[in-house]
Amino acid sequence: MAHQAGGQRPAPRPVPDTCETQSYLQDYGALLEYLACPSLVVDRQWNVVMANSAFETLFRGVRPHPTAMPGDNFLRFVLFHPDAGDILGEHEAGWCLPMLAQLRSALESCGHDQELQAVRRDIAQDPIMEAAYRQGLPHWIRAVGEAATRLDGAVRLLHHPDPRRGRTECRIVEDSPRPLRELGYRHLTMVPRDPRRPAAAVRRPRRARGAASHLAVVPAPEN
């Protein structure tokens, strides 16, 4: 479901204006590096404030993209980068639709936000993405329930570039201490599950890179 999108790169993120806050973030970045799991901190617009080496390793094979690199804006990566489905397993139901739900919720509370509105405009310019947002998302939420739109605790499938890990499930854990919350930041970690536990079965075949198709959650148009 990922597609090339127009728009501009996210604006540079403002630097916290107190030395204490900057020092805290620097130390928090050092903490992230101690984690063996892919871990990142994002702001309200899903701009990546910091990420650890494990996160960079997970996405190291991603091709350049003008607006949707995983280390720049994770929301845009999930929705718009053509390589996203190569790493994020069950890309449509497991990642795109939950992230569209995150966007919808953010727009409901911060509808004036220019970066979020820019993402919404890029979605509107793509018929498949627009169908996902307007038709697929409500249909999916009715089918699986609102709880599936939450990220914290969700189990997702990854295709890790390291062949020793390969196809594996991870649990997304959100752990945002008060100083991060006060800045509007969220800390998310993708914790791999026990490799002896079988991963969830793939519910649909993955489309070939660049293939054009309709969304599985939206009925195909009749010829």
d(CA 71, CA 39) in angstroms, rounded, equals 11
User: How high is the pLDDT of residue 166?
Assistant: 86
The CATH number of residue 40's host domain is 3.30.450.180
Whether residue 208 lies inside any domain: the answer is: no
The residue among 94, 117, 73 whose CA lies nearest residue 1 is 94
Residues of the chain by 3-state class (helix, strand, coil), percent to 5 = 40, 15, 45
Q: What is the DSSP string of 28-54?
A: HHHHHHH-SS-EEEE-TT-BEEEE-HH
Whether residue 14 lies inside any domain: the answer is: no
Q: What is the pTM of this model?
A: 0.82
User: How high is the pLDDT of residue 164?
Assistant: 82
Give the type of residue at 122. Answer: D
Whether residue 37 lies inside any domain: the answer is: yes
Q: What is the DSSP string of 160-211?
A: -SSTTT-EEEEEEEE---HHHHHTT-EEEEEEEPPTTSPPPPPSSPPPPTT-
d(CA 179, CA 187) in angstroms, rounded, equals 11
Domain of 114, in residue numbers: 19-192
Whether residue 141 lies inside any domain: the answer is: yes
Rounded to the nearest 10 degrees, what angle do helices 137-144 and 97-109 cross at? 100
* Cα 92-98-102 angle, rounded to 5 deg: 140
Helix count (H) and strand count (E) of the chain? 9, 5
Whether residue 42 lies inside any domain: the answer is: yes
DSSP 8-class letter at 218 = S
Q: What is the largest CA-CA distance in the chain?
A: 62
d(CA 32, CA 24) in angstroms, rounded, equals 12
Burial degree of 109 (CB within 10 A; 0-12, 13-18, 19+): exposed
Whether residue 207 lies inside any domain: the answer is: no
Count of domains observed in the chain: 1
Whether residue 199 lies inside any domain: the answer is: no
Whether residue 214 lies inside any domain: the answer is: no
The residue among 75, 53, 71 whose CA lies nearest residue 62 is 71
**pLDDT of the chain along its 223 residues, tens only?**
544 444 445 554 555 667 888 999 999 999 999 999 999 999 999 999 999 999 999 999 999 999 999 999 999 999 999 999 999 999 999 999 999 999 999 999 988 999 999 999 999 999 999 999 999 999 999 999 988 899 999 999 999 998 888 899 999 999 999 999 999 999 999 999 876 555 454 444 444 444 444 456 555 555 4
- Name residue 188's beta-bridge partners: 40, 174
